[in-house]
Chains A and B, each alone.
Chain A
Amino acid sequence: MTTQIKEEAPLGKIIVITSGKGGVGKTTSAAAISAGLAKLGHKTVVIDFDVGLRNLDMIMGCERRVVFDFINVIQGDAKLKQALIKDKRLDTLSILPTSQTRDKDALTQEGVEAVLNELKQEFDYIICDSPAGIERGAQLAMYFADEAVVVTNPEVSSVRDSDRVLGLLASKTRRAESGAAEPVKAQVLLTRHDQGRIDRGEMMTVEDVLEILAVPLLGIIPESQAVLRASNVGTPVILDDPSNASRAYADAVARLTGEDVEMRVGDEPKPGLFQRLFGRSA
């Protein structure tokens, strides 16, 4: 069955943005990464899997344009084309919002698969914004993924939850279950990085986090007022005024597309740490 699907839809790459823990910056990162990919000219769609807690469309600044949603498409009440919202800033970017009134039980594996297969025909990148937790919504968001971006804050509970999610990516996805040659490629995106707090011992160091998670580092996003400001005005941070955070996201997006970009920490980089990180990413 798997090979058949591969033959039918060879195009788009499905990337899930997940974390386990809530409030670490999944939706912000999903918005920034999808906008960044679109900015590079890749046809990109971002799907909100957080059924019942519609947030992505607000961060993308299109909440007033939502007519049909992901659940309508899954249940056959609307066509995919009707539900997709084209971004006004980037014509390569589309948003598939979710329902505010339904819950995660409205998602079915067959329905999600059908929508993703249809999107694969048209888009280069399909970004799935996972809900927090490890229940049905999160599992369906990751199930069909080719790659995963695990958003983690440098603190113990977030790292623990990310570790749990990495375990699920290695066991509860289609690639894992079908014994595919390549497992889901998982990378960690460290958000809310604050060198000052790390130096004071209030946060874990990048090395500590990577040592526990044992997966490649996609990027380090500094704690920044720019992120909050961009969310409030409904602009993906990457499209907002230049800031350390938007530069860090742009670097992460470039790495996601396979470019080799030097790892830099936006807030007061220290030579020692800098060197070690570079050694890791190489």
Chain B
Amino acid sequence: MPTHQTNGRSGRASVAARPFQLRGRFITAVGLRLEAESLDEAFYSMLDEQLRSAPQLLLDAPMLLDLSKVPGLTDTQQVRALVDALRARNLQVFGVENATDPQRRMAEELGLIPVLIGRDAPVEKVGADRRRKADKLLPPDNLLMTQPIRSGQVVVAERGDLTVIGSVSSGAELIASGNIHVYGNLRGRAFAGAYGDETARIFCQRQEAELLAIAGIYRTSESLGDDMRDQCLQVFLKDDGLKLEAVT
């Protein structure tokens, strides 16, 4: 096999000498679906109006003629006139789709490709969007912990309330999008309403917390005050401040 060795890397030269490479290509084409067989003045004036309203959208776009609605359109002269008119408007017609057998022969005669594959992308996209919206409407997922929460542990209730039966050690963190309930000593940190729910509350049997927070508003043990220490209480937001109230 003759190879042009233009450089020292002879091992590669024979590979590079291959005259073509096959590459997969996806291109986006505009489908023009003909709704009626009569291609009269009204058709062209509507088309021109469409092009005026969105010139960038269709300019130089590869175009397919969708014949699904006009199986009777087999007049070669009429279609040739249509293709010429479209090309005169810078629309690059290259094929037909959903063609009947006579239409396919006609298309070949006109130098158009009868495309057998392809599908309508936008329609599917709308469906996918709807499904994604439905996914967001998940049911609440409350979390129950029946073991003590140790120092260094982080427990997160992504969607809902977090209930702990047992104590929460200092250095542990509780995070919930909803309320937090602790049936035991709360010595660690608790973040209720972690995603901004200002109606979330924290309840604990005995408060010795390092930090209490609701919807990002927090107080540390230093600012919680000694009188509320070791109490059974609830914590909630009132007038943009964290309020502690004994539960009796």
Contacts and interface: CB of A to CB of B under 8 A. Distances in A.
A255 interface: no
Interface in A143-172: 160-161, 163-164, 166-168, 170-171
Contact of B153 (A161, A167, A211, A214): A167
A238 to B, nearest CB: 30
B31 interface: no
Contact of A163 (B147, B171, B185): B171
A212 B148 CA distance: 9
Interface string B132-173: 000000000000000111111100000000000011011110
B152 A167 contact: yes
Nearest to A166: B150
B171 A160 contact: yes
Interface residues of A, number: 12
Contact of A160 (B149, B151, B153, B166): B151
Interface size class of B (residues with CB under 8 A): 10 to 19
A204 B166 CA distance: 21
A191 B172 CA distance: 25
Nearest to A134: B152
Contact of A164 (B148, B151, B187): B151
Interface string A2-22: 000000000000000000000
A214 B151 contact: no
Given A160-B151, A167-B150, A167-B172, 18 more contacts: A160-B169, A160-B170, A160-B171, A163-B151, A163-B169, A163-B171, A164-B151, A164-B171, A166-B150, A167-B152, A168-B152, A170-B150, A211-B167, A211-B185, A212-B167, A212-B169, A212-B187, A214-B166
Interface of A: 160-161, 163-164, 166-168, 170-171, 211-212, 214
Interface of B: 147-153, 166-167, 169-172, 185, 187
15 contacts: A160-B151, A160-B170, A160-B171, A161-B151, A163-B150, A163-B151, A164-B150, A164-B151, A164-B152, A164-B171, A167-B151, A167-B152, A168-B152, A212-B169, A214-B148
